[in-house]
Amino acid sequence: MGPLFRRSLRFIGLLSFAALLVPSAAAAQEQPRFLMDEAVEFDFTPLVLGELEVAQAPSDSQEPGTDNQPVTVTPGESASAEDASLAKAAQNPIASLISLPIQWNSTPNSQWAPNVLDPRAKHNQTQNVVNVQPVVPFKVSDGLTLVTRTIVPFISQPWARGTNIQAMGDINPSVFFVPTLKGNFTVGVGPTLIIPSATDSRLASGRWSAGPTGVLVYSKGKVVAGGLINNVWSFAGGGKNDVNKMLIQPFLNYNLPKGWYLTSSPIITANWMNEDNKGWMVPVGAGVGRVFKLGTQPINTSLSAYYNLVKPKIAGETLAGDWTFRLQAQFLFPTGG
């Protein structure tokens, strides 16, 4: 996990930035979908959580990361103090810290389709989405840092006859321009892009989409509050359905001794093209996490559960399960102090 790995992550970050600036004109063509051996026109993409951008809860107001300086490990620092410092930095989605989060979201008791299309469909399947999302910062100047994040989802989607679709979803790169600020506030704004890269057309809109994204963090003491927001609109591609989706992620952290912390970061989404209930997904819940070292490698882990209070409707039915469970392991790469 040395300089070569860090250079690889920076290369991924550069590719993300380039993809936002110069998107290809090619787009995946949406193929006919089939239900019980008959072609149907039906959009299943509201069920695919892999499209959602996921942020970590932000950091407390500590020296590393408050003014967006590179996060360092200080020689001679106690293990507990180092873990606590890294935990705070890891929770900031726009901190100057190279990291590689791998996040698993599981929603049991889901239904693959409304009964109007499949009378035998029941809430007896599980949707799983694993997001690999490297975060790579670039210091542009003393007053500005560019933070790239690319979300690559791998999806196991319930389908007909009790089967599952196993595929990579649409890739979502984002770039945040983070000015150097003193005090309790950190802000980052920039563009986000949805690339129609899904390997199975049944899980993709087939459309290029883009829009603005932003993060605002207020931190004081051990309590942190803030939020992330974005909205994307389709602008190109061969898919038949336009895309207009919003994401809001409020977050709250309470940092404890020895790298432990309590966290809540529900992902609230709306699909404005959904005629039933605008495709609202509103979860509520919380979890616990801790930073520890495996050998010399710092790792931030967390486990949380969210009750889906409001769920998207398709053909008048809610298909997602009542609970979503989130497990994450985030590999951290601070610089030497």
Least confident of 159-168, 178-187, 208-217, 243-252: 178-187
DSSP state for residue 61 in the 8-state scheme: S
Using CB atoms within 10 Å of the CB of residue 241, give its burial: 0 to 12 exposed, 13 to 18 middle, 19+ buried. Answer: middle
Alpha-helical segments (H) within 173-327:
none
Coil, helix or strand at residue 184 = coil
Q: What is the pLDDT of residues 116-130, one digit of tens each?
A: 999 999 999 999 999
Q: What's the CATH number where 282 sits?
A: 2.40.160.40
In a domain, 36, yes or no: no
The pLDDT tens digits for 328-337 are 999 998 875 5
In a domain, residue 161? The reply is yes
Cβ(102)–Cβ(328) below 8 Å: yes
Q: Which of 43-52, 184-193, 290-299 has the lowest mean pLDDT?
A: 43-52
Q: Please give the average per-residue pLDDT across 170-176, as a whole number.
A: 95
- How far is Cα 184 from Cα 214, in angstroms, rounded to an integer? 17
Evaluate whether residue 86 is within a structural domain: yes
Q: What pLDDT was estimated at residue 5?
A: 59
**Does 34 map to a domain?**
no
Give me the pLDDT at residue 92, please.
65
Give the pLDDT score at 51. 38
Q: How many Å apart are CA 6 and CA 208, to the nearest integer?
A: 29
Q: Does 282 have pLDDT greater than 60? A: yes
pLDDT, average across residues 202-208: 87
Lowest mean pLDDT among 119-123, 273-277, 285-289: 273-277
pTM above 0.85? no
Domain extent at residue 62: 3-24+51-336
Answer yes or no: is 253 within a domain: yes
57 belongs to a structural domain: yes
Number of independent structural domains in the chain: 1
CA-wise closest residue to 167 among 303, 31, 55: 31
Residues 6+ apart with CB under 8 A from 178: 68, 94, 144, 145, 146, 147, 186, 187, 188
Q: Which pLDDT does position 88 carry in this prediction? A: 63
Task: Give the pLDDT score at 81.
Answer: 61
Task: For residue 16, report the phi and psi dihedrals to the nearest 5 degrees.
Answer: -60, -45
Q: What is the per-residue pLDDT for 154?
A: 95
Q: Which of 65-69, 77-81, 150-154 has the lowest mean pLDDT?
A: 65-69
Please, which pLDDT band fits residue 67 given cuts at 50, 70 and 90?
low
What pLDDT is attached to residue 13? 60
pLDDT > 70? residue 307:
yes
pLDDT digits (tens, 9 = 90+) for 209-268: 999 999 998 877 888 888 999 999 999 988 878 999 999 999 998 989 888 999 999 999
Q: What Å distances lie between residue 259 and 54, 219, 222, 284, 293, CA to CA?
A: 22, 17, 12, 24, 11
Residue 130: per-residue pLDDT: 96
97/137 Cα distance (integer angstroms):
7
Q: Biggest alpha carbon distance in the chain? A: 67
Residue 29 lies in a domain: no
> Would you say residue 34 has pLDDT above 70?
no
Confidence of residue 278 (pLDDT cuts 50, 70, 90): confident
Is 35 a domain residue?
no
